[in-house]
Amino acid sequence: MPRAEAMPEIRIIFIGHLTAAANAIFNPNGFPGELQREVTICANRFALYLHNSSLLASAIEKDRSEFLSILSANANDLESACNSRPELRVVAYTDGLRHLMIFHSILYSLKSFLDVFAILVCRIINPRTSPTTFGSKKINGKEISGAKLARWVERSSPASFSKKLQLKDLVLSHSRDWISDAVGYRDTLAHFGEIKGMEVMSIPGHAAKPPFDTENIRLPKLPSGELLSDYCSELVTKLGIFLDAVIPCRRQ
């Protein structure tokens, strides 16, 4: 008996607003056909970064609510602890695992995106090139993320590429301003586990009832003193500015 032929498939793909935002920047129709793979990867990695960033605020709020519930459930023991040693400053901390996991994901997806974006930039300038990543190198004794791409633009891009110096300066300027710090945080978390000087979520106690004033809860901060939520929101804005500046330089 002859086998029935498989029916042809019509694919209908629904995407969320973050994927739509990424595809608006990395629209395959706006790039040469031979770069479709690189453009698609950039769009996917950028969408993933935007997704991770969108989760942070709610993760911090969930950790805060959970922390307050734990403090409430242990109010009597905490009150006894504060009153038994009034000469000591009692501070309650939480691990904040939920929002710290999201912070890790934000930094990892940012670095991953920058690496594939660097490859796309190289291939746009010269489709037959051996591209580089957004790797770090020392410049005047300081580790600068993106220095590998800047060096490639300076030394390996075609002489006909008229925006050579402009693109190199853009990469290094943004890297010194914010990218190197973000990648540095990512590397620290990857290799050492914690960022020295970062303040985790906490609340100071006192010898009174209740022992903890929930209005005084301290939200997580980076060593600079900037709230973690503000820092990650600014990263999204700064990355958008960076892309707006670099992408026009892709054309000769």
What is the sign of the dihedral through the CA atoms of 171, 191, 93 and 59?
positive
Reading the block at residue 142, the tokens are: 């300081």
**AA letter at 16:** G
Residue type, 192: F
- Sorted by sequence, the CB contacts under 8 Å of residue 69 that are 6+ apart come out as none
pLDDT in tens, 65-82: 999 888 888 878 777 777
pLDDT at 210: 58
Within its chain, how far is the Cα of 129 from the centroid? 28
* 225 torsion bin: left (phi>0), alpha (psi -120 to 50), beta (else): left
Question: In whole angstroms, what is the distance from residue 230 CA to residue 246 CA?
Answer: 24
Weakest mean pLDDT among 44-48, 137-141, 148-152? 137-141
Pick from 88-97, 176-185, 214-223 the range whose average pLDDT is largest.
Answer: 176-185
Tens digits of per-residue pLDDT, 22-52? 999 998 888 888 899 999 999 999 999 999 9
CB 168 within 8 A of CB 153: yes
- For 156-186, the pLDDT digits (tens) are 988 888 899 999 999 999 999 999 999 999 9
Round to whole Å and give the CA distance between 149 and 101.
Answer: 29
- Residue 59 — pLDDT band, cuts 50, 70, 90? very high
| pLDDT of 233 over the 90 cut | yes
Q: What mean pLDDT do residues 197-203 have?
A: 92
Q: Looking at residue 167, what is its pLDDT? A: 94
Q: What is the pLDDT of residue 209?
A: 57
Q: Which residue has the tokens 């942070």?
A: 56
Six-digit token string for 124: 């746009």
* Mean of pLDDT values over 77-91: 77
Structure tokens at 92: 């309650």
